[in-house]
Structure 1
Amino acid sequence: MKQFMDENFLLETATSQELYHNHAAKMPIIDYHCHLVPEMVANDHKFRSITELWLGGDHYKWRAMRTNGVEEKYCTGEDTNDWEKFEKWAETMPYTFCNPLYHWSHLELKTAFGITKQLNPKTAREIYDECNEKLQQPEFSARGLMRHYHVECVCTTDDPIDDLRYHKKTRESGFEIKMIPAWRPDKAMNIEKPGYAEYMSQLGEVSGVEINHFVDMVDALKKRHDFFTENGCRLSDHGVEEFYDEPYTDSQIEIIFEKALRGQQLSTLEIRQYKHAFLKLCGEMDAEADWTQQYHYGAIRDNNSLMFDRLGPDTGFDSIGEFNTARAMSHFLDELSKEGKLTRTILYCLNPCANEVLATMIGNFQDGSCPGKMQFGSGWWFNDQLDGMTKQLKALSVLGLLSRFVGMLTDSRSFLSYPRHEYFRRLLCNLLGNDVEKGLLPNDKESLARMVEDISYNNARQYFKFY
């Protein structure tokens, strides 16, 4: 029987072990999509406890705790203390067998704190105290943890109205790890959401543009896009339920926009027309600025309206959707391509049923301008686990070029999430190593080593133009 999470965790063959230990493990991390709070990096935040570091804002854990029968006050409540929340998480931990949280959590304890004991009610207090003691040391600050995991660059997720002051502060501090903003204009796209007119007022204020018409919004957005470029941004991201290809005219979009500013209800067609026009505008701006664009699609968000009203978004009440969007996606990408405005693009699906859709879609728009211009993104959210990542890698392998893949990202709010890169690299090396051992791939050590190092780091470094 193999030991749980030993040095060869997930590595089933000698070739897999050689690829990981000699090649993947040594590569730095480029975390090109995350949700870290820039202020915490800028101020080198010190964590008061493992509860703050581990459970604060982690809707994955909250979701598991609720499923285990834990009261909400121990997840998001303010009337319970750090130990009480951690204790409830420790009680939940044994029930997460076969859930990726069990692997994530123990890999984080091991790699950050050197703790190899399994977390459960019996070990909870000991682990809690040991983690908290270590968190008082300088190397366990926000920046210290980034250094510990050999992070070279992170891209945060930022709204167009953000002033990026903390990115500037971080740069000017001389911190050796790059923190780059990434443009996420969802609030400007989601015209049907409450508060849209108020958001337009904020956008107008920060851009110095009075927004009364759609053309004003375009002007304001372009000014902010330029501001992001000046502050190092090279990457955008869009969270969309699906893709849109409804025909529209400029006059129709103007009418739709003005109706939204007046608070009038929009039809489903009008909403879809506007989102089509908006995303096309963003694609054009990204191409002109030589950015990479990302599309995360397929989530049904905020399903529980009662809890949304109580806690807000991103608190663990989202799920996988079913959207018949392949043709609209094709039309949208083709529209940009015909105009010479299709920049480097990464597509992520939340529903794994669409893996092959994306793996084949990207092949339609590769144009030879750079290796892997169109990318099928790593297993996202509910697919960010052993089975989901394996399926994504295999779909990309058989329908594209795995060797040109830009690899893993954390998509996380946590400074302890970097072992997800290790997990991904172990899985990658295991898939390749097993194929070598089965005779499905040649034992070409030089080519295999290059492939592993490229997917782990080199491809991302060359692709995103952060340097």
Structure 2
Amino acid sequence: MKPFLDKDFLLETETAKKLYHEAAVDMPIIDYHCHLSPQQIAEDYQFSDITEAWLGGDHYKWRAMRANGIDESYMTGNKPAKEKFLQWARTVPYTMRNPLYHWTHLELQRYFGITDLLNENSADAIYEKASALLRTPEYSVKNLLRKMGVKTVCTTDDPTDDLKWHQKLKDDGFEIPVLPAFRPDKAMAPEDPAAFNHFVSLLEKVTDSKINTYPDYLKQLKSRHDFFASMGCSVSDHGLEEIYAEDFTTDEIEIVFKQLRAGQTINLDQNRKFKSAMLLQFAKWDHEKGWVQQFHLGALRNNNTRLLQQMGADVGCDSIGDFKQAVALSKFLRTLDDADQLTKTIIYNLNPADNEIFATMAGNFNDGKTVGKIQFGAAWWFLDQKNGMISQLNALSNMGLVSRFVGMLTDSRSFLSYPRHEYFRRILCNLFGTEVENGELPAEQLNWISQIIKDICFNNAANYFGWSHLIENK
């Protein structure tokens, strides 16, 4: 019987162990998509305790606690911090076989050197030790990033953000680049005219302009796109149910925009056409600048109206959707490719039933000029667990070139989430190591396989995003 979470955790063969410990373990991290706070990084924030660091915005944990019958006041309410932590500790033993069980204990080990299992009996001691460490200078958020070997961070930022915290980080000379990513989802969300007009008002304010027409709107969005580029941005991101690729005319979109500015509700056909027009425009701007565009597809968000009204979005009430992805995704990419306006693109899938659809779609639009131009992105959200990662890696291996994969990202709001890269790397090494020992891959090519592992862990992302200067010993 193997010990829990020992040095060979998830590594089932000697070759897997060799690949992990000799090739993967010391590779640094590029976190090219996350939801970390640039303000907290710029201010070198110090957490008050482990509750703030762990439960402050982690809807993964909130979902588990709700399922365990824990009252909402211990998650999003105003209960004392230690009481909240105790409720999480009581929940942890019930998370066995959920990735939260692994992540919780990996984080306790990697950041705090705590090897005890978290439960109701150990909660007090773990709370005190972890919280005491978090209050020391060595555990400021900048040092948490350094501790995990992070070399670049891409945050997720609204077009109306002034990016002042990114500027401060540049001015302060923080050695880990913290770059903005352009996330214009609110700019193409006309479902709620009031919310859309609020976004337009913010855009007017940040651009010091009046936006009365659709051309005005595009002009000022383009100015923000340009501003983001001036701040080092080279990545965009969209979180969508599906890709929108309806046929439309400019006149139709101008009418829709006029209706929205008048506060009028538009119909479903108009909605989809407006989204299609905006999505295509953003993609063309990304191509002009040579950015990488990312599409996170398939989430059915805000299912619980009661909690949405009480607390807003992103509180753990989202799920996997069953949207039809293939036809529109093909049309969207094809339209850009036909016009020679298709930039580097990463497509992320949330529905495991669609893995092969996404993996084969990525292969349709590579151009023979850019290595891995269209990527089938890492397993994300509900799929960034053992089975989900294996399924994504297998689909990509079977349908494309996993050796050119840009690897893992955190997609997290937590500064303690970087052991997810270790989790991914162990799973990756186990897949390759097992196939070597099964005779499915050649043992005499182990040095080459080790290089593939290193590339997937770090080098491919560094090259793909244009940060190859981060690669040591090139």
Correspondence for 1:101: 100
Provide the C-alpha distance between the structure 2 equivalents of 1:208 and 1:354, rounded to a whole number of angstroms: 44
1:335 lines up with 2:332 in the alignment: no
Alignment of 1:15-414 (within 5 A): 15-78=15-78, 80-193=79-192, 194-414=194-414
Could you say what secondary structure the match of 2:346 adopts?
strand
What is the deviation of 1:302? 0.6
Could you say what secondary structure the match of 2:348 adopts?
strand
Provide the C-alpha distance between the structure 1 equivalents of 2:208 and 2:366, rounded to a whole number of angstroms: 39
1:328-375, CA deviations, whole angstroms, 9 ceiling, x for partnerless residues? 110010001111110000001111111000000011100012110000
Correspondence for 1:452: 453
Root mean square deviation of aligned Cα = 0.8
What is the deviation of 1:325? 2.3
* Equivalent residue letter for 1:294: Q
Provide the C-alpha distance between the structure 1 equivalents of 2:337 and 2:157, rounded to a whole number of angstroms: 26
What is the deviation of 1:209? 2.9
What is the deviation of 1:171? 1.4
Provide the C-alpha distance between the structure 2 equivalents of 1:332 and 1:424, rounded to a whole number of angstroms: 30
Provide the C-alpha distance between the structure 1 equivalents of 2:325 and 2:408, rounded to a whole number of angstroms: 25
Could you say what secondary structure the match of 1:195 adopts?
helix
C-alpha contact 1:403 1:454 (8 A) present in aligned 2: yes
* Equivalent residue letter for 1:428: L
* Equivalent residue letter for 1:27: M
What is the deviation of 1:9? 0.4
* Equivalent residue letter for 1:98: R
1:40-69, CA deviations, whole angstroms, 9 ceiling, x for partnerless residues? 000000000000001100000000000000
1:371-390, CA deviations, whole angstroms, 9 ceiling, x for partnerless residues? 10000000010001000000
* Equivalent residue letter for 1:446: N
Could you say what secondary structure the match of 1:188 adopts?
helix
Provide the C-alpha distance between the structure 2 equivalents of 1:361 and 1:21, rounded to a whole number of angstroms: 34
* Equivalent residue letter for 2:284: E
Provide the C-alpha distance between the structure 2 equivalents of 1:448 and 1:282, rounded to a whole number of angstroms: 38
C-alpha contact 1:192 1:260 (8 A) present in aligned 2: no
C-alpha contact 1:243 1:325 (8 A) present in aligned 2: yes
Correspondence for 2:472: none
What is the deviation of 1:205? 1.9
* Equivalent residue letter for 1:396: L
Could you say what secondary structure the match of 1:375 adopts?
strand
Could you say what secondary structure the match of 2:303 adopts?
coil
Provide the C-alpha distance between the structure 2 equivalents of 1:64 and 1:390, rounded to a whole number of angstroms: 23
Correspondence for 1:463: 464
Q: TM-score, normalised by structure 2?
A: 0.97
* Equivalent residue letter for 2:462: R
What is the deviation of 1:245? 1.9
Deviates more, 1:170-179 or 1:152-161: 170-179
1:213-234, CA deviations, whole angstroms, 9 ceiling, x for partnerless residues? 1111100011000000000001
Provide the C-alpha distance between the structure 2 equivalents of 1:291 and 1:370, rounded to a whole number of angstroms: 13
Provide the C-alpha distance between the structure 2 equivalents of 1:39 and 1:50, rounded to a whole number of angstroms: 19
What is the deviation of 1:159? 0.2
C-alpha contact 1:204 1:217 (8 A) present in aligned 2: no
Provide the C-alpha distance between the structure 2 equivalents of 1:222 and 1:20, rounded to a whole number of angstroms: 44
What is the deviation of 1:105? 0.5
Provide the C-alpha distance between the structure 1 equivalents of 2:270 and 2:135, rounded to a whole number of angstroms: 54
What is the deviation of 1:174? 1.6
What is the deviation of 1:208? 2.9
List runs of 5+ in structure 1 lacking aligned partners: none
Correspondence for 1:437: 437
Provide the C-alpha distance between the structure 1 equivalents of 2:123 and 2:198, rounded to a whole number of angstroms: 46
What is the deviation of 1:195? 1.4
Provide the C-alpha distance between the structure 2 equivalents of 1:210 and 1:369, rounded to a whole number of angstroms: 42
Could you say what secondary structure the match of 1:296 adopts?
strand
Provide the C-alpha distance between the structure 2 equivalents of 1:414 and 1:170, rounded to a whole number of angstroms: 19
Provide the C-alpha distance between the structure 2 equivalents of 1:207 and 1:341, rounded to a whole number of angstroms: 27
1:252-298, CA deviations, whole angstroms, 9 ceiling, x for partnerless residues? 00000111111111110000000000000000000001000000111
Provide the C-alpha distance between the structure 2 equivalents of 1:286 and 1:207, rounded to a whole number of angstroms: 20
Q: TM-score, normalised by structure 1?
A: 0.99
* Equivalent residue letter for 2:458: Y
What is the deviation of 1:235? 0.2
Provide the C-alpha distance between the structure 2 equivalents of 1:395 and 1:248, rounded to a whole number of angstroms: 34
Provide the C-alpha distance between the structure 2 equivalents of 1:14 and 1:292, rounded to a whole number of angstroms: 38
List runs of 5+ in structure 2 lacking aligned partners: 470-474
* Equivalent residue letter for 1:435: E
C-alpha contact 1:49 1:132 (8 A) present in aligned 2: yes
